[in-house]
Amino acid sequence: MDNHQKRNLTFYTIGLIFMLSGIEYAVILPTIWRYLQILEAPPYFLGLGLSAFSLSGLLTGPLFGLWSDRSKTTKSIILFSNLFEIAGVGAGAGSSIFGFLTRSTRPEDRAGVFAAIMACRQAGLLVGPAFNLFLRLCDFKLGPFVVNKYTSPGIFMCLLWVLLQFVVLALYWDVPPISSEGGVVMVEMKQAQDEEEEVLLMGSNEDPVHTYRAVNTDQLETSASSELQLVHVASSVSDPYKTFCSSRELLREEVVVLLTAQFITLFNQTALETMVTPLTQRHFSFGELGNSLMYSLCGVEVILGFFFVRWLSRKVADRAVLAVGLVICCTACIWCLIFLCNPRGGYGWELSAFIIGVFLQLLGLPFVAVSQVSLFSKITAEKTQGFSQGVRRSVGGLATILGPLWAGGLTENLYIMLGMMLGLLIMITIMTMLSYDRLTEPRAVQCAQSSDSGG
């Protein structure tokens, strides 16, 4: 089996991993609210439960990313991470996977690949409620454990994650990264005892700064020899995470904007997901079945959105897709503030206003999610993608913790909850406008030294 076939099977396995994460969310979320009600827990416990689900991912993301960058492997990390999923504490190797995808795709294809992978998670959200149709009928004992419609989702997901371990063992390969042809030129030198060394271009100034430069392929042959003469590999920077270069990379303006977009997007999304179940029960008397069907319809919309963004990303720059997504999200939040906080009219009008609000919220999600992940992978160093993606996912993990906590205590005060969300969206929209010129896709990312005069 050649590397191309192995790469395709590996991509399919990654899609299955993300699909299972979506199934897990769709199976558990519709039932957790009713289960907490049976326990007579106050409403904010819903936020605490959903936040706890994201805590392990927040802590482990950068560590798994660091592990993958150093080992240049992801298979063992996925197998190890899935043990936490089986145990029910909700850890994931997403940072390692996104780092692997970055190294295994060309920049021009990356947004499409990310969109397809994210669509797999939404497919899981679509399929998940179908499992609830028979899980809600469970009513028996498994040894000392009571298996009913509230406990069966956890047992069911445990079995699926165990089966996934065998799929990863059989179909996942740590294939070598592909080199971009005619695109990115990265000057690297390897030593016998070091896996990879940070490349520094020497100048008259001793302070290293981040620079980006596009390399014309027509000049490659004539400049290669002179370029290599300028390369100096410093043994003191064999660990890229202890260098000035890596510590400053995540503080650049454009990186901060994308990390903020990641936080706000997931904060708002998880806050709305926390709010929507009590809202549908209070206003429309939805039960587990009604919520499951609602999540299925939402999954269809989001999947179509991801495939539309996949097509659009081939024709439009990522930063433009991000801007469109933020405008849609702001519009959706304004709609919810006007029509959902103090609904008036009959049942039909309230349900229509709710459907339109949910439609608009989900419409903007694929635009923002795909564009910010794709841009982030292009403006950060490829060598440390695992760690960088781990930081990005930790920021998202923090958002998925705080979002449910914020919404869980405000299910009866939608003006405050939605007003805060709109304020955050307006803030990131302004930040994106001010930094729009910096949200570019450099053709080479290097940590270099430059003189004060050369800037």
Tokens coding 237: 């920077």
The chain-wide mean pLDDT, for the chain, equals 76
Is the pLDDT assigned to residue 30 strictly greater than 80?
no
User: Domain 1-177 belongs to what topology?
Assistant: Growth Hormone; Chain: A; (1.20.1250)
Higher pLDDT, 142 or 252: 252
Whether residue 430 has pLDDT greater than 90: yes
Q: Tell me the C-alpha to C-alpha distance, in Å, between residue 404 and each of 47, 51, 118, 407.
A: 4, 6, 21, 5
- C-alpha 361/C-alpha 207 separation (Å) is 45
In the structure, what pLDDT confidence band is assigned to residue 145 with cuts at 50, 70 and 90?
A: confident
pTM of full prediction above 0.85:
no
DSSP code for 145: E
Q: What is the pLDDT of residue 367?
A: 93
Return the pLDDT at 261: 93
Least confident of 159-168, 215-224, 321-330: 215-224
Tracing tokens 């913790």 back to the chain, one arrives at 401
- Model confidence at 92, pLDDT cuts 50, 70, 90, reads low
The CATH number for 250-441, chosen from 1.10.10.10, 3.40.50.300, 1.20.1250.20, 3.30.360.10, is 1.20.1250.20
Asked if 388 contacts 65 with a C-beta cutoff of 8 angstroms, the reply is: yes
| Token digits of residue 230 | 């300028």
Domain boundaries, the chain: 1-177, 250-441
pLDDT exceeds 60 at position 128: yes
- Could you give the CA distance from residue 86 to residue 185 in angstroms, rounded to a whole number? 42
Residues 6+ apart with CB under 8 A from 346: none
Which phi and psi (to 5°) does residue 293 adopt? -65, -35
The Cα 354–Cα 352 span in angstroms is 5
The structure tokens listed for 391 are 């930081």
User: Taking 50 as the threshold, does the pLDDT of residue 325 lie above it?
Assistant: yes
**Of 265, 258, 257, nearest to 362 (Cα)?**
265
Kindly give the residue spans of alpha helices, DSSP state H, lying in 200-287.
Answer: 220-229, 244-249, 253-284
Looking up tokens 């909850």 gives 417
Helix spans in 136-190 (H):
152-171
Same fold, 1-177 and 250-441: yes
